[in-house]
Amino acid sequence: MIDISDPGSLSEEGYYDTEGISYAIELKNDFAYLADGYEGLRIIDISVPSAPEEYGYYDTGDQALGIGISGGVCMLADESLGLYVFDIPVVTGDDSPEVTARTMLFQNVPNPFNPSTEIRFEIPRRMKVRLSIYSVTGEMIRVLLDEVVDGGRNRAVWDGTNNKGQRVSSGIYFYRLETPELFRARKMVLLK
Domain ranges of the chain: 2-87, 104-190
Q: What is the pTM of this model?
A: 0.51
Q: Given 1.10.10, 2.20.25, 2.40.10, 3.30.450, which CATH number is that of 2-87?
A: 2.40.10
Q: Which distant-in-sequence residues (6+ apart) come within 8 Å of 33 by Cβ?
A: 25, 26, 27, 41, 42, 43, 44, 67, 69, 74
In this prediction, residue 81 carries a pLDDT of 66
Mean pLDDT of 169-182: 91
Fold of 104-190: Immunoglobulin-like (2.60.40)
- Cα separation of 37 and 24, whole Å? 9
Q: What is the mean pLDDT of the chain?
A: 83
Mean pLDDT of 38-46: 82
pLDDT higher than threshold 50 for residue 152: yes
The C-alpha R_g of the chain, in whole angstroms, comes to 18
